[in-house]
Amino acid sequence: MATILDVAKLAGVSQGTVSNVLNGKGNVSSEKIRMVEEAARQLGFTINERARMLRKGSSNIISVILPNIEFIQYREFYNSLRSYAKKSGYVAELLISNDNPQEELELIQKSRAVMAEGIVTLTCLRGTENPYVQAGFDKVCFVERKPAFEADYFGFDYRLAGMQMAGQVAARKYKNVAVVTATERFSNEREYMEGFLEVMDTEKNCSVRKITTDVLRISYSILNLFDSGEKIDAIITTNMGFAEKIRQIYMAFFRDTEIKIHTLSPVYSLPEKDFLKYELNYSLLGREIAARMIGTDKKEFRAEDHLFDNDGERQWKNISLKRRAAACLNVLTLEGPEANLMKGLAKMYTEKTGTQVNVAVFSYDEIYDQFVFSETSDLFDVLRLDVTWLSWLAERILLPLDGIDPDIQTVFSEYLPSLSDKYAIVNNRVYALPLTPSAQLLFYRKDLFENVAVKRIYSESFKEELRAPADFREFNQIARFFSGGSDFPATVRYGTNLTLGNTGVAATEFLTRYFSHQENLMYQDGKVFIDNEIGRQAMAELLEAQKYTPARTARWWTDLAGTFADGDVAMVIMFSNYASEILASRSKIVGNIGFGMVPGGNPIVGGGSLGISRNSKKQEDALAYIKWMTKEPISSAMAGLGSVSPCARTYSKYDIIDTFPWLELSKDCFTLSRTKRVAAGEERPFNEKKFLNIIGTAVKNLSMGFISLDEAMERAQHQLIYEL
């Protein structure tokens, strides 16, 4: 077996140099990095992890002991824990106990053998002695099943879940129900049944049959229940895995009998028709346990109870109308990822209310004329308005929502902080509700930015560390580096790409750079003033960036995401509601996507809000629809399908965050963004459409070489003074 000494001899360097290269440390030249990596490859050398662990005294391993991995709630929990651990440089090793005490004891010893940092366990052990402490583990998190000894425990309020699910049974007036649980020696099952029976004992018209089973016997137990001929209206279970087995038996042999299945469940981003689910956020549980395990020193690790809120039964069709629903609603929206989602979700709204929802989709260049048309027309009831146009158009075409519902601001409690000022309120009136609030983010090829050889070549070239750029000087320097044909192992042709398809998006490229230097637009004599040092620097930075782009720049944000997904571009700046396009089926960079704050740290916010046309004759129906679309659980469903959400609760659903990890950063940008358009103390509407046309025209004329930078700035400034 090859050693570090063998690698050093073949590469012609010292052992210390080899160690630094293999561990990504030290000031090693790019040439030596190449030599060491090639020597290691030729010799088949790998680092001895066991020796490394012995030197450290522990490994970056967290053992996770689960009863099985069949049940979806355990998969959700483990996947979330593993994802957080991986981002923190840890490995979550999955161990299956099969609810066998002897196997669990053996897994404790296996964890000790690999020198695990700690253990997370759904224990099946009995007794008052703690075998984990006896094995020498200081950091152990007990999940869902509380042991008889003092321990660090994580779970939900299972008694409350039992009581509330019993309330569902009572409300639906079932006469005969079966309750299927695992053994009540597990604390979660016992607490659930106590809560369930406490409520059901007051229901004299419903009989309850208890069935205790496990993963091996569940199918047999349910088959016996159906074979008994006993009339059952509903089956209640504490386990989504049990619910799936119950449905399989029901569908295979007894589908002629109508039986409802109620179950505890992990949180789902999309509605489920097979079960009536009471949801518990297992993905949040997994993430928080991983954070505690990794972020808490063993000396500070002490026994505490950590109970997380129950999500409960999510109201997918919670639509409040005080009268008969209208026959139809017409919705106007901009093309983009959310347009198709709105069409799909409209079917669910129709199922509940009977109201047909017609969604009309227009391009950015077309939709402004439709807004102008809506000033006098009642064709559209609901308008999806871009956030940057809200202050200019709200009072012209939208109906104040507080005029329909004086308590409309109560819905703001569900939203992320700071959204109401940007996406809802104009001149102290509520005109809209946030639908798809998005923000600019930097996206980059993580495999390039973290490659040791690439980083070293960059350092040698610029005497700076390769990192996510903090400003646009660094941005352009990195773009030039990746466009320069440097001799490193990377499949990338361009440093960046720009979105210059129409004047609106072209103007945004300029403003992105402008706001990296100046928080707000500058004013002079009450007029926007950009023909200054900051404006010219921003325009120059944009013009330079164009040198490092494909010959055909992107026309729209979806195009930009596509070019990045193709793997030819090192980094781009785009809005978070379009970023899911990076993960399209053709994407070549899945698993290598890095993201961060835009250079300058002052992101432009985008996306849009839903408002009601002031000429709509269906105002109450329109308000019910926009409330439904912008609140839980619909908002999370849209985020789970690749859009974004205004609701704070969405960002604790780590099945969504693990798929689209940049959403966590995106939600912080709404508070960080300081890109206000109007002068301080001035509340007049700002004609965003005309402003963007003026700036975008200057950008496009300059980028195509028709005019010089000086002439572009002078012309734009002249138009801003006399036309805006």
Condensed to tens digits (0 to 9), the pLDDT of residues 470-489 reads 999 999 999 999 997 655 55
Instruction: For residue 724, give both structure tokens.
Output: 């805006």
Give φ, ψ of 573 to 5 degrees.
-115, 125
Architecture of the structural domain at 328-437+607-651: 3-Layer(aba) Sandwich (3.40)
Please give the CATH number for the structural domain made up of 470-591+677-723.
Answer: 3.40.190.10
On the question of pLDDT at 57 being above 60, the answer is no
Boundaries of CATH 1.10.260.40 in the chain? 4-47
Mean pLDDT, rounded, of the chain: 90
Q: Determine the pLDDT at residue 400.
A: 97
**Secondary structure of residue 2 in the 3-state scheme:** coil
**pLDDT for 95-111, tens place per residue?**
999 999 999 999 999 99
Instruction: For residue 509, give both structure tokens.
Output: 């490229």
Q: Determine the pLDDT at residue 11.
A: 78
**pLDDT for 578-614, tens place per residue?**
999 999 878 999 999 999 999 999 999 999 999 999 9
**pLDDT for 656-676, tens place per residue?**
998 999 999 999 999 999 887
d(CA 532, CA 67): 66
DSSP annotation of 136: T
Percent of the chain whose predicted confidence (pLDDT) is above 70:
94
DSSP string, 138-185: S-EEEESS--SS--EEEEE-HHHHHHHHHHHHHHTT-SEEEEEES-TT
On the question of pLDDT at 41 being above 90, the answer is no
Architecture of the structural domain at 4-47: Orthogonal Bundle (1.10)
**pLDDT for 139-186, tens place per residue?**
999 999 999 999 999 999 999 999 999 999 999 999 999 999 999 999
DSSP annotation of 11: H
Please tell me the pTM assigned to this model.
0.86
**pLDDT for 239-259, tens place per residue?**
999 999 999 988 888 877 788
Give φ, ψ of 348 to 5 degrees.
-65, -40
Q: What is the mean pLDDT of residues 8-22?
A: 75
Q: Which CATH superfamily hosts domain 57-156+285-308? A: Response regulator (3.40.50.2300)
Q: Determine the pLDDT at residue 114.
A: 87
Q: Which CATH number fits domain 158-280: 3.50.50.60, 3.40.50.720, 3.30.930.10, 3.40.50.2300?
A: 3.40.50.2300
Q: Determine the pLDDT at residue 50.
A: 44
Boundaries of CATH 3.40.50.2300 in the chain? 57-156+285-308, 158-280
Boundaries of CATH 3.40.190.10 in the chain? 328-437+607-651, 470-591+677-723
pLDDT band with cut points at 50, 70 and 90 for residue 56: very low
pLDDT band with cut points at 50, 70 and 90 for residue 58: low
Q: Which of 39-48, 215-224, 235-244, 355-364 has the lowest mean pLDDT?
A: 39-48
Q: What is the mean pLDDT of residues 389-417?
A: 94
Q: Determine the pLDDT at residue 36.
A: 74
